[in-house]
Copies of this chain bind each other. A is one copy, B any other.
């Protein structure tokens, strides 16, 4: 899998994301992806050795993208609540702006495509979040409970809300995200 043409890779990724959002991981074929990416089926195999490879590469791409967005604008040196709010907003931002990627990542967890190795790599990416939560507890901003409980609570509530918004077709207003943050903060604050 050599990146012979960055544009093509992008086309393939975006075509795949579009299709997965429409029909799920179970419903897509290599030739559909090729057609949606406006290339020949054979060309797909120049860029990716096989289907699992393509899915794994896209998975990694999305995870990296997510992580980049999560920590955008974030400064460890800033006060805790500032940092927390930035990251929280970034979580929302990623899921809102890249809903197709969020859906794809979701679908991958139970797919036979993603290898344990790929999963392991992605686990490491969110380490900085742990650090933040840890600090929040030390500085008495957050309840002193298990990190994963805090983190899953935060991400789960965001996830579900964005999903709902997308499926119901309701636009998300900044007042909504404001309320959502308030709920989250009330939940987690010490």
Residues of A within 8 A of B (CB): 20-27, 103, 106-107, 109-113, 143, 145-146, 148-149, 152-153, 155-161, 163-164, 167-168, 176, 179-180, 183-184, 186-189
Q: Is the CB of A103 within 8 A of B110?
A: yes
With A148-B164, A159-B156 as known contacts, state yes or no: A111 contacts B24, CB within 8 Å.
yes
Q: A interface, by DSSP: helix, strand, loop or mixed?
A: helix
Q: Knowing A24-B26, A110-B24, A183-B143 touch, does A156 contact B161 (C-beta < 8 A)?
A: yes
B23 A112 Cβ-Cβ under 8 A: yes
For A164, the closest partner residue in chain B by CB is B152
B contact residues around A159 at 8 Å (CB): 156, 159-160
